[in-house]
Structure 1
Amino acid sequence: MYLFINGSFTKKEDIQISPFDHGFMYGLGLFETFRTYKGHPFLLDDHFQRLTESAETMNINMPKYNRDETKEIIEELLRLNNMEDAYFRWNVSAGERNIGLSTDQYEQPNTIIYVKPLSLAVNTEKKARTLTIRRNSPEGEIRLKSHHYLNNILGKRELGDAPGEEGIFLTAENVLSEGLVSNIFWLKNEKLFTPDLSCGCLNGITRQFLIALAEKQGISVEMGRYPVEMAIDADEVMVTNSVQGLVPINQWESKVFPGNKGNWFRWANEQYQQQASCLWSKQEL
């Protein structure tokens, strides 16, 4: 398996990083996960916009994003690993510095691009389960897609390894936040609802895409702070992330939903599949 580190394509067993990298020592690291569809990195511009903005928050000086150069790296990793499509994790850590908290800008971050095979799978329905562990509050103003993942790991331990289930986090104030590795949406009376960012959820790239898609089609979208009972009372429920795409929920607690037979899901998923192999940004909708 070939990965990419700081400008070089390298076999995974040959990759080394310093124990003084502050991404390792203090969690000062970020990542974006995305996938390709027929070789196309879906919503790549949006992923790098979020990555760049998050790096500024962490005081990490990233190279300016260049779509063509980034696309070439992705294509070469697919070629070297003999893959048509793949899961990618584009990881940026602060880089080396002495022990101790630092306020200076990190000028030499470490970039590692991980890759693993991923097929063009058909959406699989999932059951939702409300987790008892609460979603922690973000370290800063909003949640970043950072190395701080203990809350997710504890949630995963509670949920277990069943592939057909997704855990749903509530906040300490008992309002909905997000899924274990996803954002959550529900439809009620032809109106779309999702928690807002004050609930500690990640501003997911697929979340942004689905909101933009709905608004373009004249579907009302409301973001706010909602009790779990409101979502369970919905007509349809869906979770989203950048690797699995749009995933319908067919059961939550004792409530049964239409899952992949729901009219709203079928429409949204058809739109998603049409755009997945060509769209660079939600702005192109």
Structure 2
Amino acid sequence: MYLINGQWQTTLPANDRAVQFGDGCFTTAALRKGKVSFSEQHLHRLRLACEKLQLPFTEWSMLASEMQQLAMNEQRAVLKVIISRGAGGRGYSAANCNQPTRILSISPFPTFYDDWRKSGISLALSPVCMGVNPHLAGIKHLNRLEQVLIRTHLEQTPAQEALVLDSDGWLTECCAANLFWRKGNAVFTPFVDRAGVNGTMRQHVIACLKEAGWRLQEVRERVETLADADELIICNALMPVVPVKQAESWHYNSRELYHFLAPLCE
């Protein structure tokens, strides 16, 4: 069941613009011990996305209340929140779409993340590149076909996650996570100003590193920069951080950065 505009149901109008055009945004949050982890950050992400998409959503207090309502009885689960522009006509114009749709749902927590944190994971370079679009870069809009194809190709490999480049060949992110790597005392992460998602956990990791005095740089690099890295980690709101033991043919044994960040990201 889905909580759609405050009503428990399983149907959405066929002319909802989420269905017709992927016209909307979403966020995915961890629920722990009856609370939404990093709830303010998730709401902030949705606000920024709505502004970027010129989506006239105003029910922020109601949405925050519904998020907490769904979290109350959950010890460990996943909350997904979608904001669609709502029902509209056949064409692209959004002129008459003034009633956005909010959709909330809960699903089981992916417990394989626990195993990933213990053993580390492998990354495989994806043959699917992300299109460069500075206007949409950073936000989590509903157009996720690139990620669907990246995941489809990834499932044909033994790796657990993908290394994803943009269409100009710059290292960008993973399929469902952001990427950081360490060389000595310096930590690097790709820019997401032209492609990719500026994840809530990515933002939190950056803040933690800066506060602790790590040398952090957002960079535009080719995948070969990972060849001489000392350590790689990936992160998202659910993991929240996971160590990487192998990326393509490169192997990593250090967990210095991971052990620093893990207790700060729960």
TM-score of the pair, normalised by structure 2? 0.90
**Secondary structure, in 3 states, of the residue corresponding to 2:78?**
strand
2:234 is the counterpart of 1:239: yes
- Alpha-carbon displacement from aligned partner over 1:206-256 (angstroms, at most 9, x marks no partner): 000000000000001100201111123210001111111101100112221
Q: Which residue of 240, 258, 268 corresponds with 2:261?
A: 268
Q: Which moved more, 1:132-141 or 1:218-227?
A: 132-141
Percent identity between matched residues is 23
Count of aligned pairs: 262
CA contact (8 A) 1:86 1:117 kept: yes
Return 5+ residue gaps in structure 1 as ranges.
277-285
Residue 85 of structure 1, CA deviation: 2.0
2:93 is the counterpart of 1:102: yes
Separation in 1, partners of 2:172, 2:38: 23
User: Residue 113 and residue 162 in structure 1: after superposition, are their counterparts in 2 closer, same or farther (change >3 A)?
Assistant: farther
CA contact (8 A) 2:132 2:195 kept: yes
Q: Which residue of 1 aligns with 2:108?
A: 117
Query: Where do 4+ consecutive residues of structure 1 move more than 6 Å?
Result: none
Q: Which moved more, 1:228-237 or 1:204-213?
A: 228-237
Q: Which residue of 2 aligns with 1:126?
A: 121
Residue 198 of structure 1, CA deviation: 3.2
CA contact (8 A) 1:83 1:117 kept: no
1:120-199 equivalences under 5 Å are 122=114, 123-124=117-118, 125-138=120-133, 140-160=135-155, 165-199=160-194
TM-score of the pair, normalised by structure 1? 0.85
> RMSD value over aligned CA atoms?
2.1
Q: Which residue of 2 aligns with 1:76?
A: 69
CA contact (8 A) 1:60 1:105 kept: no
Which structure would you say has the larger RCO, counting Cα contacts within 8 Å and 6 or more residues apart? 1
Return 5+ residue gaps in structure 2 as ranges.
none
Separation in 2, partners of 1:142, 1:199: 5
Q: Which residue of 2 aligns with 1:279?
A: none
- Alpha-carbon displacement from aligned partner over 1:150-187 (angstroms, at most 9, x marks no partner): 11111111111778510111122221011011110000
Q: Which residue of 92, 96, 99 corresponds with 2:83?
A: 92
